[in-house]
Amino acid sequence: MAEPSFPIAGRTVWVAGHRGLVGSAIVRRLAGEPIGGLITATSAEVDLRRQDVTEAFVRSERPDVLILAAARVGGIHANRSAQGQFLYDNLMIAANCLEAARANGVAKTVVLGSSCIYPRGAHQPMGEDQLLTGPLEPTNEGYAIAKIAALELAKMYRRQYGMDAISLMPTNLYGPEDNFDLETSHVLPALLHKIHNARATSAATVPVWGTGRPRREFLHVDDLAEATIFALERYSGEQHLNVGTGKDISIRELAELIAEIVGWEGELEFDPDMPDGTPRKLLDISRIEALGWSPSIGLREGIAATYDWFLANSESIVTRPR
Ligand code: GDP
């Protein structure tokens, strides 16, 4: 592979959102790199929704690199019940961080978004050019609008100020340090937790929201961390890049796979009163693959590793502050 155009060696790297699923994976990945220093702050220390606080932090820390993994995230239920908060928090975090990075000469910025930026009826698999071609999925519209604004801001700051900011749009993620709360989490950690509880209590059934028919693509967060460092060092352009596996499965198939991994043999009870959300979300990953990155963690292997992590941390995972 060609030499990196932006080698990370010796640079100070601010990982915004370092305690979350994505940020913590990036911190683990950076542990193997000869960087000049890691900069982090909890949301209690630096509230990125506040411009004055964010600017003061960046002015004093002066990072060379910003990896923007801070966000308010949640599963379908959390998203649809607090659209305003998801829009406001994510809009403010993105605008404040990008502006502070620009004003303080951050040399490279990576914005992390989500595949929910694409229209509900997008052609599958979704190429980057599907952005802004149709109406969004209503259950996560607030979050999606904020993430679209973030990637557009990065693009326009590149055009107007020559800022080296790139954007990555990962598919549904899972792995260690995820939110396993049954109400607010995404489907994979929720089903892992529910099915684990069912095995522990010898329950005969597990409730699964919706019809089980929607299809989703799942990427282990360590693969995203790899893609992030890959793109940071080797890609510079206004075109955002999809990051996924290029493979999807139905929610029913996911639940059955998790049941197999956990070792529970009961019955799945689908609840059609809960929303299905978008019918299918599968990314076209040919752009990033052409640059030289591809995923390496298979779904079965990734879920098994995540379940091991869950078992090792089950005392503290649900209530741990972020
Ligand atoms: P989405 O990809 O934005 O729709 O977010 P989720 O990961 O929250 O949900 C994906 C799909 O899984 C939706 O069709 C949900 O209805 C379904 N699902 C089934 N059971 C659950 C559950 O216990 N929690 C969540 N969050 N989703 C579930």
| Cα distance between residue 266 and residue 202, in whole Å | 9
Q: What angle do CA 8, 161, 113 make, to 5 degrees?
A: 60
Q: Is 143 a catalytic residue?
A: yes
The answer, yes or no, to whether any atom of ligand 1 lies below 6 A from the CB of 140, is yes
- How many residues are recorded in the chain? 322
Q: How far is the CA of 7 from the centre of ligand 1 (A)?
A: 38
Determine the residue of 72, 139, 209, 278 to mutate for testing ligand 1's pocket, defined as the one with the most ligand atoms within 8 A of the Cβ atom: 209
Q: What tokens does 137 get?
A: 């999925």
> Which of these is catalytic: 143, 174, 235, 307?
143
Q: How far is the CA of 258 from the centre of ligand 1 (A)?
A: 14
Whether the model clears a pTM of 0.85, i.e. scores above it, the answer is yes
| Cα distance between residue 15 and residue 106, in whole Å | 13
SS3 (DSSP) at 204: coil
The answer, yes or no, to whether any atom of ligand 1 lies below 6 A from the CB of 277, is yes
Per-residue pLDDT of the chain (322 residues; tens, 9 = 90+): 778 999 999 999 999 999 999 999 999 999 989 999 999 999 999 999 999 999 999 999 999 999 999 999 999 999 999 999 999 999 999 999 999 999 999 999 999 999 999 999 999 999 999 999 999 999 999 999 999 999 999 999 999 999 999 999 999 999 999 999 999 999 999 999 999 999 999 999 999 999 999 999 999 999 999 999 999 999 999 999 999 999 999 999 999 999 999 999 999 999 999 999 999 999 999 999 999 999 999 999 999 999 999 999 987 765 444 4
The answer, yes or no, to whether any atom of ligand 1 lies below 6 A from the CB of 275, is yes
Omega of the bond prior to 125 within 30 degrees of 0, cis?
Answer: yes
Q: How far is the CA of 170 from the centre of ligand 1 (A)?
A: 17
Q: How far is the CA of 173 from the centre of ligand 1 (A)?
A: 12
Do 170 and 118 form a contact (C-beta atoms < 8 A)?
A: no
